[in-house]
Amino acid sequence: MSEDLEEVPEDEKAPSAEAADDALEEGEDGEDEPSGLDKKKKIIIAAAAVLVLLAGAGAGAYFLGFFGGDAAEAEKPPPPDITYYEFPPIMVDLKPTGRRTRYIKLTVVAELREEDVAVVRETEVKVTDAFQSWLRARTRKELTGRKGTVLMRGDFEDIVNRLIQPARIDGILFKQVLIQ
């Protein structure tokens, strides 16, 4: 085994403890120490990073509504000149799709301006008849679910606006919808 070990010349050996201490002392006094300018740059970069993070967090909180400005606006009541007009309940048999007859019972409420209530009241019979005719042409499948409600709401609004021109309603609401 001693044959495998080769002798290393003295100048290639690892530095001694004294040489390491000397090198350490040179590094403390020499060029390895960062200057005051480098420390200032690091502080400025760290401060800028903190400011960017705080600005991002503040913007995120604002857009997510944590400051409460949007919640107060969303809870405002409708303008005072808006009123609701309830049509009489409607019960109609739907378009047959089999042996069994299907019925729908609903109560429709129109959202409109106060000055248009008289016009709607005068045409109530025509509007109710138009609702019933429209419903009789539909199947149960067409009127169920969200799609059916959206379809009824849009078409009922069109029917009322066509019959009460030049007055207009702002929307249709359903107080009761029952499909058998």
Total domains in the fold of the chain: 2
Whether residue 96 sits in one domain with residue 171: yes
Final residue before a domain boundary, out of 43, 72, 101: 72
- Give the confidence band of 93 by pLDDT, cuts at 50, 70, 90: very high
Residue 107: inside a domain: yes
Q: What's the mean per-residue pLDDT of the chain?
A: 81
Residue 159: inside a domain: yes
Q: How many degrees, rounded to 5, is the angle at CA 126 between CA 86 and CA 154?
A: 60
CATH number reported for the structural domain that contains residue 155 in this entry:
3.30.479.30
- Give the confidence band of 59 by pLDDT, cuts at 50, 70, 90: confident
Range with the largest mean pLDDT of 61-65, 68-72, 109-113: 109-113
3-state SS track over 119-145: HHHHCHHHHHHHHHHHHHCCCHHHHCH
Indicate if the pLDDT at residue 71 is higher than 90. Answer: no
Q: pTM, whole model, 2 decimals?
A: 0.54
Q: Which two tokens stand for residue 133?
A: 């005719």
Whether residue 62 sits in one domain with residue 112: no
Whether residue 90 sits in one domain with residue 35: no
Averaged pLDDT, 27-52: 76
| 8-state DSSP, 180 | -
Whether residue 86 sits in one domain with residue 67: no
In this prediction, residue 106 carries a pLDDT of 93
Higher-pLDDT residue of 139, 15: 139
Averaged pLDDT, 114-137: 93
User: In sequence order, which residues have a C-beta less than 8 Å from that of residue 83 and are 6 or more positions away?
Assistant: 111, 112, 113, 114, 117
Final residue before a domain boundary, out of 54, 72, 90: 72
Nearest to 168 by CA among 90, 108, 131, 115: 115
**Is the CA virtual torsion 144, 86, 129, 172 positive or negative?**
negative
Residue 8: inside a domain: no
Whether residue 167 sits in one domain with residue 89: yes
Averaged pLDDT, 49-68: 84
List the domain range (segments joined by +) for residue 113. Answer: 82-179
Averaged pLDDT, 49-58: 90
